[in-house]
Amino acid sequence: MKSQHRWLERGQGEPVVLLHGLMGQMHHWDDVLDELGGACRAMAPTLPIFDPGCLEPSIDLLARWVVDFLDALEIPRAVIGGNSLGGHVALATALAFPERVRAVILTGSSGLFERSFTRGVPHRPTADYLREKMEEVFFDRTLVTPEWVESVRCTLIERASVRRVLGFARAAKRDNLEARLVDLAAPTLIVWGAEDRITPLDVGRRFHALIPGSRLVILAGCGHAPMLEHPRAFAGIVRRWLAAERLQGGATVGAGVPR
C-alpha cells in the first residue's frame, strides 16, 4: 500500500519500531524513545489510520504497512512493539511476516478482548464526552489535559475521521488472535498496567498463557498506556529484556511474572 511515512527516531543499532494505538500518535512514545536511544535504534511511526488513501480499514492492512515502512528504511528485520491497537498490529505483523520480526513487545494490546474507546461514540463527540473516555485510559487522570482533549476533538470533528476510527475498532474486534498465538515464534515481552481498564490485566495474563515462552511484567499504579504514565520504567523493562534476549542468542527470554 502507498502511504507517506512519518516517524520519530532516536539512537543507533538494533531497530525497534513502536506503534501507537487507535487514538494515539507517534509523539506518545517520545519519552520512551529518549530512554531507549542509547541502547538501540528506536522509532515510532504514525500509523495511517486517518489516511484517506488507505483502503478498507483492517489489521492486515496495517501489518502490510509496517512491512512497507521497514522496506522504505531498508530494515530487513526489527523488534516490533505497540500499545493497544499498535500491539495488535505488531502481533499481526509477526504472524504474517515472521521473517521480518525478530521480537514482539506488547502493552495494553487488543487482539483478544477490548473494552473499546469507541463504544457508543457520537458522530460529533463533545469535549466532555472525550475527557471522560480519555480519563478511563489512565490510572493518573491528571494526564488528560484540556489541550489534549481539544486536540482529539479536532481530529474527530470530521465525520470521515470518525468513520475511520470506528472502522479500525471494528476490524480489531473481528481479528481475534487467540487461535493463532500458539504459532507466534518471535520472543515476546508483555508489559501491562495493573489498573488497565481498557484491556484489563486478565487480558495480559491470557496473552502470556497463549504465547509460547513469553514474559509478562506488571506495572503497579498504571493504566492502559505505560509509555505515557511510566515511560522510564517501561523503557528500562524493554532495555533489560532485549539485552537478556540477545545474550541467549535470540532465544526466548522465558516465562515469568515479575511484580
Grid cell listed for 212: 509460547
The answer to whether residue 196 is catalytic is: yes
Which residue type does 238 have?
V
Antiparallel, parallel or unpaired: β 188-193 and 101-107: parallel
Q: Which of 84, 109, 110, 214 is catalytic?
A: 84
Q: Is 114 exposed, middle or buried (0-12, 13-18, 19+ CB in 10 A)?
A: buried
CB 98 within 8 A of CB 35: no
Q: Which of 88, 175, 196, 230 is catalytic?
A: 196
b (16+ CB within 10 A) / e for 31-66: bbbbbbbebbbbbbbbbbbeeeebeebbbebbbbbb
Q: Which of 28, 88, 208, 224 is catalytic?
A: 224
- Residues with Cβ within 8 Å of 16's Cβ and at least 6 positions away in sequence, in order, are 36, 40, 41, 42, 43, 78, 79, 81, 105, 238, 242
The answer to whether residue 224 is catalytic is: yes
Grid cell listed for 66: 509496517
Q: Which residue has the cell 523488534?
A: 79
Q: How far apart are the first and last CA of the chain?
A: 41
Strand blocks (E) in 11-163: 15-19, 41-45, 78-83, 101-107
- Rounded Cα distance between 216 and 82, Å, is 15
With the C-alpha atoms ordered 116, 205, 175, 86, is the resulting torsion angle positive or negative? Answer: positive
Active site residues: 84, 196, 224
